[in-house]
Structure 1
């Protein structure tokens, strides 16, 4: 899912915290009816953080009765899409025949590999009566050895993720490892993603176990070494430094990262690859109708952008 052909986000002001490499100010687009999307990755200074090459924060918003999300069938190669909701529900369908709703705290991990097509829509009573929507859409690049792997889809329920609760903090370990807990989600490259709620006045250390790390503030205000950060900022940290986050108010944020990728990646529309030629081939294949259809959603599709 890619809501808009966004331009690069921009870097924020300089801050005093030595552990910060830079702060990304996402580009925000209002798609109507109060539904906004903030894109933090890729940015001019951070094309990736670990394997994360794309990071959108959408909502919170409330769809009116009879309306909802309608992301028509579209293709991907060379990546895994990671959908994670804080509120609402999205119906996922793909060319493998998957038809499954995702709800808050669950995760849909769709590996495109050599090519997959999917759609994401609001359906059923959610559309009839109106519904909230709030969450993240992220892409992780695949290692070169797995860029052309067979497409796959995995759904993980909320109950599968380890949760650490202690002294005003709650950390859900969604992928990888954090604070000694390990997620059950299988990944092809060292990947870390955690969902954190921190009560006002409490602190959370961010260890240097993963070489590349970032933090995105979803709600509330945090303090790091005297600098305060409001919602909608992606903080990218330098390798090797241990950081302590203090909640200036009740706060919700996510941490993400992992090992550096095995070389640069090219990204165009919904395609990611280490090879520009492979992206050109994917563009031609989509335009020619060579990708598989999505069962149950075969009629509509998103055409290839003109540029």
Structure 2
């Protein structure tokens, strides 16, 4: 049984670079601790890739960003001094905690262009870690567990599922997988968490007699069982976990406290966030609304 099907909505990050936003949604703000889910692409970027498509330094609190690419390349720089190239199949896990700033640029793709495609998700931190010191972890593809079943394969990006666990740090129970499956495959729903969803990135799937297309997120009811049947070659993301409680979201800030978000807004406006040491000439200003 499905709780809701969420359709992707187009959102401009600024400068003309559009993403497909799935979470948050007015009728379903979160799935487990996942509070934000953007599909970046697929976009065929022509050389030279305009700098206006880059995401300038911006702040976060109270969450972890989870960046995962299907195609292309991005360069991450943050206020901890980390500079990391993100490539397909690797995991970038940035825990913002009490506050961090970072940028995401197309440095490597700028001279040659190419296709960029991937997902950025945000995981809301439990209250015990909302004010933890920020950290950054990167895992290449071969560091992430592979679940190999008849007709389908899943890379476990974060958390635990199907008897395996990812090395990435998590602060509440969750799972996040990239699944690639052939026609006719049956992908069973993870059954260890109350909130679960599947996002169809490409291909088509069927659940309980209904067919679902790319760009749709299937959010399952807590009592849902069974398997997702793959109609044609498909990529999908499976995600979910234990709820962490209601969260306030404003721009790039997530918190259990409205007052904490107001403080973060004031801190960014006043220049009290540290900036990436190698990318601090321009920043995204605090939105007016």
Q: Which TM-score band (shorter chain)?
A: over 0.9
CA–CA distance in structure 2, aligned partners of residues 29 and 95 of structure 1: 26
Map Cα deviations across residues 212-261 of structure 1 (whole Å, 9 max, x no partner).
Answer: 10000000000111100000001100113213111111111010000011
Aligned partner (choices 166, 173, 187) of residue 183 of structure 1: 166
State the partner residue of 2:284: 302
Report if the CA contact (8 A) 2:75-2:105 is conserved. Answer: yes
Cα distance, 1:30 vs. partner? Answer: 6.0
Contact 1:222 1:245 in 2 (8 A): yes
Residue 165 of structure 1 aligns to a residue whose secondary structure is: strand
Alignment correspondent of 1:196:
179
Q: Using a 3 Å threshold, how does the CA distance of structure 1 residues 61 and 35 change in structure 2: closer, same or farther? A: farther
SS at match of 2:266: helix
Question: Do the aligned residues in 2 keep the contact of 1:207 with 1:243 (CA within 8 Å)?
Answer: no
Output aligned runs, 1:1-307, within 5 Å. 19-29=1-11, 36-68=18-50, 69-124=53-108, 126-261=109-244, 263-307=245-289
Deviation at 1:31, TM superposition (A): 6.9
C-alpha RMSD of matched pairs (Å): 1.5
In the aligned structure 2, how far is the partner of 1:32 from the partner of 1:62? 17
Structure 1 residue 33: Cα displacement: 10
| Partner SS state of residue 286, structure 1 | helix
CA positional deviation for 1:147? 0.5
Aligned length: 287
Q: Distance in 2 between matches of 1:293 and 1:207?
A: 39
Name the CA distance, whole Å, in 1 between partners of 2:261 and 2:240.
25
Q: Deviations over 1:160-183 (max 9, x none)?
A: 111122221111111112211111
Structure 1 unpaired stretches of 5+: 1-18
Contact kept in structure 1, 2:2 and 2:224, CA below 8 Å: no
Using the alignment, how far apart are the partners of 1:171 and 1:228 within structure 2? Answer: 21
Kindly state the Cα deviation for residue 293 of structure 1 after the two structures are TM-superposed: 1.6
Q: With structure 1 as the length reference, what TM-score do the two structures score?
A: 0.90
How far did residue 300 of structure 1 move?
0.6
- Determine the C-alpha separation between the residues in 1 that align with 2:174 and 2:218: 17
In 2, Cα distance between the equivalents of 1:31 and 1:93?
A: 18
Contact persistence 1:34–1:61 (CA under 8 A): no
SS at match of 1:128: coil
CA distance in 1, matches of 2:190, 2:253: 32
Contact residue 207 and residue 241 of structure 1 kept, 8 A: no
Structure 2: stretches of 5+ with no match in the other structure: none
Q: Is the 8 A contact 2:246 2:256 kept in 1?
A: yes
